Structure formats: structure tokens, C-alpha cells
Amino acid sequence: MMAEGKRRRRRLKPVEEAIQFSLQQKDKNGLEGRFISDFKGRGVFSCTDFDKGDFLLEYRGDLISKEECERRQRIYHNALKVFMFKFRYNGKLLCVDAARDDGSLGRLVNDDHINPNSRMKTIRVDGKPHLCLFARRSICPGEEITYDYGDSEWPWRCTTLSVIDPSTLEVNTLSQSEDTEGEKLTVVSDQSVLMDSTICTASEGQEKVTLKKDRLLLDDQDCVEKMSPVKEHVLNEEQSFCAPAEGVKECAPVFGTSPAI
């Protein structure tokens, strides 16, 4: 008779779990979508503890070619275009179109380029790439799940650093870690109210953030190598709108158009 211990189910590795959920087209328990504000829309929050490296969610949608992506972009309203996640895979530009609200959570995860708690990576399932989020660090219940959408002048980033509408103060702190929150609030409370996203001047704060981000990316590289045993990562070569640094084996959206926010 098989020993009791041997019968216990082995805990899946994060990548194995990602593959399983991708095949089942299901979201994992322990995460929920919530409305945050009119400005930020909805977001995804943790209702449990996650460890660094854990699989969190798949960014589910239609996997389409560059050509099909361009065709859809021509007919989509701007509000839908923000759900088109373009990425490089094996030298090809592909897109996961999550414009259709299928109730999945991956499409609701918001951006945080300063202290994101997850990162997007591609895993290959049945020969096809799937975009999956993995925890960059441990995550506590109540934390918003975020990842870095990549380098770009996203309007909300300007808002965080130099363009402040007092009503967004609460919003802007939602995706920031405790250690940076105080600093940000001090910076923003001194700013005048400007909601033109094109006014995004380099401030002292922004320089600091850039340096910090570079360090994070280096850290990421080490970490990605360690926790990614499979060889199916993407290298985002395209930097058209939003892509991570070259060589980092993670995946950020290349949202082709300025998001309609």
C-alpha cells in the first residue's frame, strides 16, 4: 500500500500551475476584481497571501497576429484598444486581445512602474504563448495586483508625479508600496491641479523614479532567470509604446496607441 505521505498531492511549481490554469481558462482563487475609482476603473486585489514567484493570473483573450490586431484597432473604440496587449514572441509581433469582457481578472490588472508586485511573462502551452502574471515579491491580502506596463508616458504616471487632481490622491496611492507612499504624497500635495496628461515635465521625483526602476529591472533579470525554468520567454524588441528593457525576460504590453483615458 502506498505510504500516506506519497499519496499527498505534490504542490505544483508556479509555471506548472500557470499552464494548468491556462488550459482550464480559469482564474485562480484568492484574487478578486474591484472598482477603485472613475479615474482608475477596476483593479484586481489579493484576498490571500502569495509568495514571491507564485503564479497569479493569466491575461486571457484572443491570441491574434499583428495584421489582425491592426485590423481590430482600426474598428475598436479607444476604450477597447487599451485591452490589446501586443508583445514579441519568437521574433513575431503578436497580440492578446482582451477587449471582450469575459469576466477574467487578468485584463483588469493596473499599471505600477515604481513598485509593481507582479510581472508578466509568457509561457508556452501547446505551442502557443500565454501571458501570465507572477508575483515579484510576497503579496498580502488586500494588496492591489499591479505590473509595469513598460516605459511610456502613460497619463496616470504623470498624475502621480507632477499632475495632481486632489480627487486622485487616494487612487494614486493604491498601487504604491508603503515605503514610497509617504514620499509621493508629500510631492503631490505641493503641486497645482493640472489634468492635461501631456504636461509631464521631468521633475526631481521623476528622475528618482527612473533610477529606481533601472535597479528594479536589474533585480528582475536575476529573479526571472531563477524562477523561469522553461525556455519560452518573450523578448520585447518593440518599444513603440510600452515595452520593458531589452534583455529582461518578461513581458509588458506594447499598447499600440495612446490609451484612451
Ligand X SMILES: C[S@@+](CC[C@H](N)C(=O)[O-])C[C@H]1O[C@@H](n2cnc3c(N)ncnc32)[C@H](O)[C@@H]1O
Residue with smaller CB distance to ligand X, 129 or 259: 259
Smallest CA-to-CA distance from 161 within 205, 198, 211 is with: 205
x/- contact string, 21-60, with ligand X (CB under 6 A)? ------------------xxxxx-----------------
CB of 253 to ligand X, least distance (A): 8
Output the residue with the shortest Cβ distance to ligand X.
41
x/- contact string, 105-144, with ligand X (CB under 6 A)? --xx-xxx--------------------------------
Task: Compute the chain's Rg from CA coordinates.
Answer: 19
Residue with smaller CB distance to ligand X, 42 or 212: 42
Does 87 sit near ligand X (CB under 6 A)?
no
Out of 18, 19, 69, 82, point to the residue binding ligand X (CB under 6 A): 82
- Please check whether residue 253 is in contact with residue 86, taking contact to mean a CB–CB distance below 8 angstroms: yes
CA separation for the pair 68, 131 (Å, rounded): 18
Inter-CA distances, 25 with 22, 57, 63, 102, 192, Å: 5, 10, 13, 11, 45
Scan residues 165-224 and list those touching ligand X (CB under 6 A).
175
Question: What is the total count of residues that contact ligand X (CB under 6 A)?
Answer: 16
Does 232 sit near ligand X (CB under 6 A)?
no
Give the burial string for 179-214 (b: 16+ CB within 10 Å, else e).
eeeeebeebbeebeeeeebeebeeeebbeebeeebe
Residue with smaller CB distance to ligand X, 35 or 214: 35
Smallest CA-to-CA distance from 135 within 109, 101, 172 is with: 109
The position carrying cell 484612451 is 260
CB of 166 to ligand X, least distance (A): 15
Residue with smaller CB distance to ligand X, 46 or 228: 46
Residue with smaller CB distance to ligand X, 19 or 108: 108
Structural element, H or E, at residue 180: helix 178-189
Residues near ligand X (CB under 6 A) are: 39-43, 82-83, 107-108, 110-112, 156, 175, 259, 261
